[in-house]
Amino acid sequence: MRTRRAALGTIAGAVSLALTLSACGETGESGSGSGSDSGSGDGTIGIAMPTRASERWLTDGRSVVKDLEDKGYRTKLVYGDDDPKAQVAQVAKLVEQGVDALIIAAIDNKSLNGVLQKAADADIPVISYDRLILGSANVDYYVSFDNEQVGRQQARHIIERLGLEDGEGPFTIELFAGSPDDNNTKYFYDGSMHLLQPYLDSKQLIVRSGETTLDKITTLRWDGATAQKRMSRILSKSYNGRTVDAVLSPYDGISLGVLAALKSYGYGSDGKPLPIITGQDAELASVRSIIAGEQSQTVYKDLRELATVAANMADDILKGRTPRINSRRGYENGVKDVPAYLLQPASVDKSNYSYVLAGYYTAEELK
């Protein structure tokens, strides 16, 4: 009998040829959905999301479920609540329950290797969602945004607002990064530093804390309270009698934590304006903050589109079709090049939020 994983081997070969030619909470099981013109799916798909503490992951979960149900699939959605061991146990349970495919946004990108081997042994294909799972040959596809571009958009906002290309400066800046166990953290950092490093080298930008390397600026679990504590420490130690002009923040939750620390040190008053603060995910609280003139920028990633790509990919795999990918190179996860589909993000600030986010939030929500 031809297994799903054998079929995936054929699909992977077709993808490779195409690329060459081109250059602890569980929500339980949902219903089978309404089934539209493409609603001929047969089977159950397990969806493992990292946390319910972030608005964006709640949106991801709902969106993936909806898209799969519209195709006729049943779904099992679980949230690991930022506990890697809990997520491993949840995925193991989904494998034991015999799901037909897995869509996983990892909490810890290296903790799932053992359970993914069990999935492979059961012929269950795996799609790595937004966060690339590392160190496993049993990751079949990767769907995400162009994460280096996210970092570049954050850096570009700082460069433009400070007038660095016009020779303005010197200015002070502090750097924050995401969780050390999330592979995207490095992509965001590399993208932003590609543009900011020349200004650091020329001393137009000065990091008074001296904390610039990735290992010094990460924020475990992307936690806002952790970021707030670090920002408070930096202000107390490095900014007595001085002000910070910009903060590179990779995520809205971190941005709000940074803002809280700054306000506690008197920033946001007429005599001590808030620095430029970047962000990511266009979470509602941060968009409201941008409108209010506090957080400066965020990066919008249409999670509905990401969910659609993941659902289409799962549907293609289970129906023996070659999923669509658009990355010329696979994403290296330490064991293999994982075929990838990447979406493009958009920079959002006070000047453009109303049309970039049109249809994503209502006017009432943004009040």
Cα distance between residue 322 and residue 49, in whole Å: 25
Beta strand 101-104 pairing with 44-49? parallel
pLDDT value of residue 40: 72
Compute φ and ψ for 358, nearest 5 degrees. -60, 125
In three state form, how does the secondary structure of 96-116 look?
Answer: HCCCCEEEECCCCCCCCHHHH
Whether 8 has a pLDDT exceeding 80, the answer reads: no
- With CA atoms as reference, report the closest residue to 231 among 250, 217, 252: 217
Q: What is the mean pLDDT of residues 10-39?
A: 45
pLDDT value of residue 330: 77
User: What does the pLDDT look like over 61-74, one tens digit per residue?
Assistant: 999 999 999 999 99
Whether 20 has a pLDDT exceeding 50, the answer reads: no
**Res. 26 pLDDT band, cuts 50 70 90:** low
**Res. 9 pLDDT band, cuts 50 70 90:** low
pTM, 2 dp = 0.86
Burial category of 22 from C-beta neighbours within 10 Å (exposed 0-12, middle 13-18, buried 19 and up):
exposed
pLDDT higher at 13 or 358: 358
User: What does the pLDDT look like over 153-162, one tens digit per residue?
Assistant: 999 999 999 9
User: What does the pLDDT look like over 169-200, one tens digit per residue?
Assistant: 999 999 999 999 999 999 999 999 999 999 99
Cα distance between residue 77 and residue 29, in whole Å: 7
Burial category of 26 from C-beta neighbours within 10 Å (exposed 0-12, middle 13-18, buried 19 and up):
middle
Q: What is the mean pLDDT of residues 23-47?
A: 60
